[in-house]
Structure 1
Amino acid sequence: METITLVDLAPILAAIIGPMLLFGAATMRYQHVDSIKTRELTHELIGKNSELNERAHAETRDLIDKNREDSDRAHAETRERSDRAHKATRKLIDKNHRELSSSLGDVRERVSRIEGHLRGPPPPTDETADGDAEAA
């Protein structure tokens, strides 16, 4: 068996290791370029996303403000209607109270007349007796 020296293996090693090193360097370069593109694209998308988020936030804030204004206006209108209804109800209650009070006075008068009619003529009082004495 013959011994093979390192010098004899050099072309074989160069033929195997050279393309492997070249492939490794090319792969690293490709990954580096790809990562740069990915980073740039990511930053671009983040910038667009932030703009969209800011716009959406502003629109949402505007909608919330508009909703608050509408709600305040509806609350004020409801309060006004409630106050008007309360005043109208109060007037109606007062009117009914006055009518009931005057009707109650009429009923008291009628009851007094009925009681007087059922009791008969009033008994003579001292004043009536004095008046009859003077007349006689």
Structure 2
Amino acid sequence: MSEKRYTEDHEWVMVSGDEATVGISNHAQEQLGDIVFVELPDIGKALAKGKEAAVVESVKAASEIYAPADGEVLAVNEALNDEPGKVNSDPEGGGWFFKMKLSDASQVASLMDEAAYKAFIEG
């Protein structure tokens, strides 16, 4: 499955095999406003679905980024340390936060697809 999925906390996840790339949705970055700082998880950190994985700070507020599934951090987007605004300019592309190895890829299957997420944020 290479379809992008979304959580109710506005993270997106793109899965390739047992690896997933995670970021925040365009809707989330619009709500946050200008991103000024991103705190990324440590590589090798064990993540639990629904638990804090990273933090994003904007001019308005700080917000937690939650793990969309259980797994381990494989890589982080170091570019965000110098250029946190990438989250605003390309939230669902170059503004990704981290990549993780999934413990159970089926956890992602229960997340919303794009159409369901669109209905969720409009609802």
User: Normalising by structure 1, what TM-score?
Assistant: 0.12
- Could you say which structure has the higher helix fraction? 1
- Could you say which structure has the higher strand fraction? 2
Higher relative contact order (CA 8 A, sep 6+): 2
Larger Rg: 1
